[in-house]
Chain A
Amino acid sequence: KAGVTQTPRYLIKTRGQQVTLSCSPISGHRSVSWYQQTPGQGLQFLFEYFSETQRNKGNFPGRFSGRQFSNSRSEMNVSTLELGDSALYLCASSLVGASYNEQFFGPGTRLTVL
């Protein structure tokens, strides 16, 4: 079974631009969660999607948005990029999302904002 895939793996953008990251969950998984990892803050929860609906949301500004498609693939968008958005963005998939020991992470997308 293929694992969670994220594209692109690396991205360089400049301040003010917008970016879209993609996550393909494990086949059959309906829940996709997004996290931001920075050295100073660790892993911070962005949002979770389940069956195309946002089910949970973290404390990030509205510049961070996401969506999930009918095939469970998910995208995350960040508009008006700031230097502080430089981070590793991780997505994780699970069957239903409630039992987090079944959550599988992708390798992440490393975003650098210049």
Chain B
Amino acid sequence: DQQVKQNSPSLSVQEGRISILNCDYTNSMFDYFLWYKKYPAEGPTFLISISSIKDKNEDGRFTVFLNKSAKHLSLHIVPSQPGDSAVYFCAARVNSGGSNYKLTFGKGTLLTVNP
């Protein structure tokens, strides 16, 4: 049961253009969403997040949009740079009891930005 889905395993974009990575979820109890970036041979690093009470969060070239009614979020990278080439994971947080939380990750999308 994949509660967080990234339906595009890969995406190729030209340098300078916009990259849009998508993520769908099924659990309405998720209260916080995060995007992580992962380079080969390294662990994932946190990129940007959004609370379920917001619909947009922006940080430099990165913007995350949340559509709660559609249970959909997307990450926009503008402009895309070759150094953005990596696997991007969408993750969602749910309260697992008390002050404990659990993260569920999608399968990831490999973004390739071509010079």
Contacts and interface: CB of A to CB of B under 8 A. Distances in A.
A97 B34 contact: no
A73 B7 CA distance: 36
B105 A101 contact: no
Interface in A89-111: 90, 92, 97-98, 100-108
B100 A97 contact: yes
Interface stretch (B38-46, B65-73, B78-86): B38-46
Interface residues of B, number: 25
A100 B105 contact: no
Contacts, number: 62
16 contacts: A33-B103, A41-B107, A42-B6, A42-B107, A43-B44, A43-B91, A44-B105, A45-B104, A45-B105, A48-B100, A56-B96, A56-B101, A90-B44, A100-B93, A101-B46, A104-B46
Interface of B: 6, 32, 34, 36, 41-46, 49, 89, 91, 93, 96, 99-108
